Structure 1
Amino acid sequence: MTIMNEMDNFDLNLLKVFDALWRHGHLGRAAEELDLSQPAISHSLKRMRKQMNDELFLKMRTGMQPSPRAVQLAPVVQAVLANVREHVLTAPIFDPAQACRTFTIVMSDVGEMAFLPRLLARIMREAPLVDIQTISPSHRDLMSLLERSKVDLLMGYFPDLRGSDIFQQRLFNHGFVCLARKGHPVVNGEITHKEFKELSHVVVQTEGRSWEIVEQYLQSNGVERRELLKLPHFLSIPMVIAMTDLIVTVPLPVGEVFARIAGVQVLTPPFPIPSFDLKLHWHRCQHSDPGNRWLRSVALELFGAT
């Protein structure tokens, strides 16, 4: 008989009987602790003797005397039972002050600008041993990453992420702003329909989906513009806008960041471009994980609309 077959035939409840007999050295006290009858304990001992090919506990005048084999097995059995109690039966906890873990968060570059500074400051203060990794995979890979627990959390705008296994929590709603350099020869504090159509634009076509909201609105409303520069990311936008007469339309949090680091002015778009919700997304397999729950609670506290 192979080891696997022996495991299939072994009743793990017998380990509890072994442990009780080892600690008490008495059939009756072991039965009392386990809330079993003495005949039931005797039957279990008989089964153990047969499977382990050893007497294990010998009936003596003073009680049940362990055999040399039982003496060898006792620490092993106690370790197995302790591991089951600690790691199987006890609900896991997450202590941020002591946790040593890496959280992988999906964010676009816009999300990194909007979320990372405040999120990292909080994590570094409360969970000094926790590391953060941000990734920006293609949308077709998101579900696979979530299902395989390769991603802990998504933060941002992911309108295509749906399904019964996906949980979500709304953070806040925001719209778009236009940016132009300070001292722009045409735009000063506000921008008109005419100026928006006649000025040359920067268009950021990112992996994120928010830029599609602007493009779809302008197209459906017949708003044409000169797209002089197209970029795949936001990194160069502050300097490009600050040093040219181009304008750009960006999500509000991005515009606010750029206004703090470069000489640009934030303008209300002359068209009612729809706003959108930024959300947390996570998979069912991560829903009850204490660490994931802590991370979500921090994000919701920092960025959730009040």
Structure 2
Amino acid sequence: MNNGSIDITTLRVFDTMMRTGHVTNTGVQLGLSQPSVSFALNKLRAQVNDPLFVRTTQGMEPTPRADKMAEAIRQVLYVLDNDVFHNEAFNPLTTQRSFTLCMSDIGEIVFLPKLVEHLRRVAPLASIRTVSLSHLDVGKALEAGEVDLAVGYYPDVVQANFYQQKLYEDSFVCLMRTNHPLAKGLSLAQFEASEHLVVRAEGRSHEMFDAFVERHGLQRNVKLVIPHFMSIPHLLLDTDLIATVPQSCALSLLRLGFLKMLALPIAPPQFQLKQHWHARYHEDAANQWLRSAIYEAFSGAFTSSSFAAN
């Protein structure tokens, strides 16, 4: 017996024939012609060297060999249908999954408040964990499944087998305390003469602005360099420092109520915020749903009109 040549259709024909006892009815249930059913049965008969079904006054009755085979074949088909070929639907309302997102602390400021509220409504039992990784480790974590999505500015995640989706475009503005001497307007000379707070975090957007400053020959009187955007409000509150930050970050920090956002005196560079994932999880139902939820929450969420200096 060459069981390597047994195909799934043949097993389905046998299993259905056991239940119907009729070649025509078997074909109707499986969407096969009568000759196709007969061909499959004859192939299986040849493989097991047994007639399997014999015509009697009661119709086509299984042989003892067929009766012996029936339960095992039914189990094989069950495993194939439920464990191999079944793509279980993802239900956000009942999932208790913890999703892991890679983002910098600026990403946490911008994305997490709205995302947590969004998931509270559409996936109330799900939870979120964030990690901050160096640009060298983001791709490895996505590939290994340690991170579901990287959300933010990750220009290095461009290798083969990675997907990306644009969420919105961002740029840069200045932040200062509301009663700052320059709160009514900022000239280029005042920008260069001011004392600057600079954030150099694990994210890459600060590198873009540093390159912009150098390319345009701008001067910054840098008085303080810190690694986290979270510290900005406390440091601006009681000083005359100003900070240049992404616009979406500034809008989020303005909600604290004691900061002022001003346009830069020179047109700043633009950059795209995206979500990134690995090809291994492109068809994963949970990953697809998470990408859709984030896109729904943030696609176009920050428009150019949102960034008008106040």
Q: Structure 2 length normalisation: TM-score?
A: 0.80
1:179-198 matched pairs, under 5 angstroms? 179-184=175-180, 186-198=181-193
Instruction: Give the aligned residue type for 2:104.
Output: S
2:157 maps to 1:161:
yes
Deviation at 1:73, TM superposition (A): 5.1
Aligned to 2:48: 49
Q: Which runs of 5+ in 1 are unaligned?
A: 1-5
One-letter identity of the residue aligned with 1:93: A
- Separation of aligned partners in 2, 1:201 and 1:171: 30
Cα distance change on mapping 1:249 and 1:21 into 2, 3 Å: same
In 1, the alpha carbon distance for the partners of 2:55 and 2:214 equals 90
Q: Are 2:177 and 2:259, in contact at CA under 8 Å, matched by a contact in 1? A: yes
Whole-Å separation in 1 of the counterparts to 2:126 and 2:70: 38
**Structure 1 CA distance for aligned equivalents of residues 276 and 171 of structure 2:** 20
SS in structure 2 at match of 1:241: helix
1:248 partnered with 2:243: yes
C-alpha distance in 2, partners of 1:172/1:249? 19
SS of the residue corresponding to residue 139 of structure 1 reads coil
SS of residue matched to 1:212 = helix
Shift of 1:267: 2.1
Tell me if the contact between 2:24 and 2:34 (Cα under 8 Å) persists in the aligned partners. no
Pick the aligned partner of 1:178 from 159, 174, 181.
Answer: 174
Q: How does 1:1-306 map to 2 (within 5 A)?
A: 8=4, 10-26=6-22, 30=26, 34-37=32-35, 40-47=39-46, 49=48, 62-63=58-59, 65-66=61-62, 74-86=70-82, 88-89=84-85, 92-184=88-180, 186-261=181-256, 263-305=258-300
Bigger shift: residues 148-157 or 229-238: 148-157
Alpha-carbon distance between aligned partners in 1 of 2:160 and 2:168, rounded to the nearest angstrom: 22
Q: Closer, same or farther in 2 for the Cα pair 1:66/1:130, shift >3 Å?
A: farther
3-state SS of paired residue (2:228): coil
1:12-32 CA-partner distances (Å, limit 9, x unpaired): 444223312321245675467
SS at match of 1:144: helix
Secondary structure of the residue aligned to 1:162 is coil
CA distance, structure 2, for counterparts of residue 97 and residue 56 of structure 1? 48
- Offset at 1:199? 2.6
Distance, in Å, in 1 between the alignment partners of 2:175 and 2:131 is 27
Which residue of 2 is the match for residue 3 of structure 1? none
Instruction: Provide the aligned C-alpha RMSD in A.
Output: 3.2
Q: Secondary structure at the match of 1:218?
A: helix
- Give the TM-score of the pair, scaled to structure 1: 0.81
CA distance in structure 1 between the aligned counterparts of 2:197 and 2:227, rounded to whole angstroms: 11
Letter in structure 1 aligned against 2:103 = M
> What amino acid sits opposite 1:113 in the alignment?
I
Q: CA deviation at 1:302?
A: 2.0
1:42 Cα deviation (Å)?
A: 4.8
Deviation at 1:279, TM superposition (A): 1.9
Distance in 2, matches of 1:40 and 1:254, equals 68
What percentage of residue pairs aligned between the two structures are identical? 37
Change (3 A) 1:26 1:257: closer
SS in 2 for 1:134: strand
Contact 1:175 1:276 in 2 (8 A): yes
Q: Is the alpha carbon distance of 1:30 and 1:183 closer, same or farther for their aligned partners in structure 2, counting shifts above 3 Å?
A: closer
Task: Name stretches of at least 5 consecutive residues in structure 2 with no aligned partner.
Answer: 304-310
